[in-house]
Structure 1
Amino acid sequence: MERKIITSAFSNLYTDQRIEKVCKTLFDNGYSIDLIGNDWGGSEKMERPYSFSRIELKSKSLKTAYFEFNWKLYKELKKKVDKNTILHANDIDALLPNYLIAKKMNIPLVFDSHEIFTEMPAVQNRISQKVWRILERKIVPQIKFMMTESASYAEWFHEKYNVDPIVVRNIPRKILVAPDIPDNNPKIILYQGAVNQSRGIDKAILAMHFIQGAVLKIVGDGPMRKMYEKLVIQENLQNKVLFIGKLKPENLREVTKTADVGISLEENNGVSYYFSLPNKVCDYIQARVPLVMINFPEMKRIKEQFEVGEMITDHKPQTIEKAINKVLQKGRKHYQEELNRASEVFCWENEETKILEVFEKASNSL
């Protein structure tokens, strides 16, 4: 019997590395994969070894786009599923159609919660937050097969809904040979990821007033980019802060290897951020780039195991500057032994067995 998985997400799929890695792991282990995303935020050309498609959205606002996607996803799933299908929903914003079809067809559903969606800053204090919370409260306690991205997230879901998600961290594949350390002049401070609120980007920009002989490269895109570009001009930091834009994952990895220090300065704007393990943290570790991190639980766990950089306790520009300068003064070479050790632990190869166990259990329930 062919083992068939339909994976769906409210995503244009292009830069979603977690979905790419999960699908590739399952595909490499004999599952037939059909991936469904949408064209919200673009429909860049992609190549994958498995089938994928994007639902066309005509909505002009995100609120209506969610509704349109869920309705169209329901119809798409209805056409594609059979009794040998495992459904795989990524995040709350794709869960309802999957849940309804799984219940109707009596087939297994695997729910992968990339974050605590209902506590994200983008939905806080809005009517939409109440809607997502109702869905979460009604559906999540009934989920039999669930994954999530951090131990802190898993603890939150357990306390809230008495479920026990498997922790599958969104971390990169192993870089087997440590990259060469470049002799940069000026030194490169790197932020990579979405240019959104509550990422500490504006504080890092202001910290550049106090850091000499270095530039801050911001790699990524998002709704706050224009505002931060204006901040750079306002602060007369155009020569010290560079916006690189969004890159393909393979190009991003090459840029990451060139940095002297990587920053992950998330702000406590809800439990989803506070309990997260940002993708960039382990990207830096695999590239053997030392970090400056905020002292949130998942990042503290790493720092307690491995001396991979410096940790800050607040977002004052002077605090950020001191930590970055400390890393720059010690130099990237100083941290290499600990980064090498950490890279053996924080790699995708260690997560794959957990994914396969979840889907094997789901497959056995067919």
Structure 2
Amino acid sequence: MKKVILSVTNDLVTDSRVHKVALTLLKMNFKVVLVGRKLPGSSKLGHRPYKTKRLKLFFKKGPLFYAEYNIRLFWFLRLRKGDVFLANDLDTLPANFLISKLKGKPLVYDSHELFTEVPELLNRPGKKAFWRAIERLILPKISKAYTVSESIARLYQKKYGTPFRVVRNLPHREELLMVPPEKSLTADERKLILYQGALNIGRGLEYAIKAMQHLKGARLLIVGDGDITLPLKKLVADLKLADRVSFMGKIPLQELKYLTAQAHLGLSIEEDLGLNYRYALPNKLFDYIQQQVPVLVSNLPEMRAIVEAYQIGMILEKHDPEVLAKQLQEALFNRDLREQWIENLPLAARDLCWEHEEKILEDIFRDLR
């Protein structure tokens, strides 16, 4: 039985994509080891049917972190038997590429995003140039690669000549959840607007918070953590919106679905800050759909195509708090619109699930068994 070693730079707790990939590889009779890192505040990992390893690092962020992680990952992989190496995103690729060449073993690359176009690098030309150099050096030499959207796949193939398959980050198919009373959040009868995911720049969260000034009968729940958590909390305090905006922190995947199922509207309102966001297909969009929650999404091509194809929500007109508030009002309280969306969501949930998407992943790994 061949062993696949997957590597990521996060702490494994909330990364649903690599967990699903690991489960699919187990079904294909691979041994699976998932490698990440241990942070001071990392939660304990629940039981998983595959092996995990979290590396403890001295540096927590910045260039020294990436250098330390890849050096530590290189030696971890060097000292262990592995038949296939799966690098998740550009920040794990250097170590995996070197090991695959050193051991003469296959390398598979999973690009979760257009890494060199993330908003965090937009105004950092030196760092952006470094990661682009890594891309130019390695991507043309990779034969098996996949990513999260058609737009990103086309861009990579055009730029580097590397064929990329598309494996969207879709959730497992689930029956509509019955939420137990102890997990219910609807005691005050206000409509629940949900954002779940990373709290980073460009996610539209500042506009959503400001829009709550103009919206009654609703509550905004923000689930997750990230670089701008503290500024967002300060904004809520400054605007005196603590009764309308709640920060829920990080919630384990198995618990999060109970919260998602209670939302009346899910937000995915990323700004057009570079190609990475423009071509994104965020995980949260499909999580909302799987729990049959109508959505409000940015007018960006990949998200717009999903929402228009299934008629399951609304496209954002522009990132202006007052305009956004009017759209939220319409999406939450227009009965005719909501009836149409809710009627269409079951079909979208049946189509947009991991059980269909994993067939592409199986095809990628079939000849590596």
Normalising by structure 1, what TM-score? 0.94
Q: Cα offset for 1:35? A: 1.1
**CA distance in structure 2 between the partners assigned to 1:81 and 1:258 by the alignment:** 45
**CA distance in structure 2 between the partners assigned to 1:184 and 1:60 by the alignment:** 41
SS in 1 for 2:318: coil
CA contact (8 A) 2:177 2:258 kept: no
**CA distance in structure 2 between the partners assigned to 1:60 and 1:109 by the alignment:** 27
Residues 28 and 315 (structure 1 numbering): CA distance in 2 closer, same or farther, change over 3 Å? same
User: Comparing 173-182 with 236-245, which one deviates more in the overlay?
Assistant: 173-182
SS in 2 for 1:122: helix
1:38-57 matches, within 5 Å, as 38-40=37-39, 42-46=41-45, 47-57=47-57
SS in 1 for 2:119: coil
SS in 2 for 1:55: strand
Q: Cα offset for 1:221? A: 0.9
User: Comparing 56-65 with 6-15, which one deviates more in the overlay?
Assistant: 56-65
CA contact (8 A) 1:179 1:288 kept: no
CA contact (8 A) 1:178 1:340 kept: no
Partner residue, 2:287: 283
Task: Please say if 1:213 is aligned against 2:217.
Answer: yes
Residues 142 and 42 (structure 1 numbering): CA distance in 2 closer, same or farther, change over 3 Å? farther
Q: Which amino acid aligns with 1:97?
A: A
Partner residue, 2:90: 92
CA deviations over 1:177-211 (Å, ceiling 9, x no partner)? 36589797111011111111100000000111111
Q: Cα offset for 1:141? A: 1.1
Task: Please say if 1:326 is aligned against 2:330.
Answer: yes
CA contact (8 A) 1:202 1:228 kept: yes
CA deviations over 1:229-278 (Å, ceiling 9, x no partner)? 11111111111111111100011111000001111100111111110001
**CA distance in structure 2 between the partners assigned to 1:77 and 1:123 by the alignment:** 29
Residues 198 and 71 (structure 1 numbering): CA distance in 2 closer, same or farther, change over 3 Å? same
Q: Cα offset for 1:351? A: 1.0
Task: Please say if 1:228 is aligned against 2:227.
Answer: no
CA RMSD of aligned residues (A): 1.7
CA contact (8 A) 1:109 1:362 kept: no
Task: Please say if 1:63 is aligned against 2:63.
Answer: yes
User: Comparing 328-337 with 13-22, which one deviates more in the overlay?
Assistant: 328-337
**CA distance in structure 2 between the partners assigned to 1:297 and 1:361 by the alignment:** 33
Task: Please say if 1:354 is aligned against 2:352.
Answer: no
**CA distance in structure 1 between the partners assigned to 2:218 and 2:364 by the alignment:** 45
**CA distance in structure 2 between the partners assigned to 1:98 and 1:11 by the alignment:** 16
Q: Cα offset for 1:24? A: 1.0
Mind listing any 5+ residue stretches in structure 2 that lack a counterpart?
none
Task: Please say if 1:239 is aligned against 2:243.
Answer: yes
**CA distance in structure 1 between the partners assigned to 2:6 and 2:41 by the alignment:** 19
**CA distance in structure 2 between the partners assigned to 1:156 and 1:184 by the alignment:** 47
Partner residue, 1:158: 157
Partner residue, 1:269: 273
**CA distance in structure 2 between the partners assigned to 1:125 and 1:144 by the alignment:** 32
Partner residue, 2:16: 17
Q: Cα offset for 1:171? A: 1.3
Mind listing any 5+ residue stretches in structure 1 that lack a counterpart?
none
Q: Which amino acid aligns with 2:252?
A: K
CA deviations over 1:296-345 (Å, ceiling 9, x no partner)? 11111112211111111310112211221111113554422211111111
CA contact (8 A) 1:74 1:98 kept: yes
Moved over 6 A (4+): 180-184
CA contact (8 A) 1:275 1:298 kept: yes
**CA distance in structure 1 between the partners assigned to 2:92 and 2:5 by the alignment:** 12
Partner residue, 1:200: 204
Q: Which amino acid aligns with 2:203?
A: R
**CA distance in structure 1 between the partners assigned to 2:239 and 2:366 by the alignment:** 55
Query: Percent of counterpart pairs with the same letter?
Result: 38
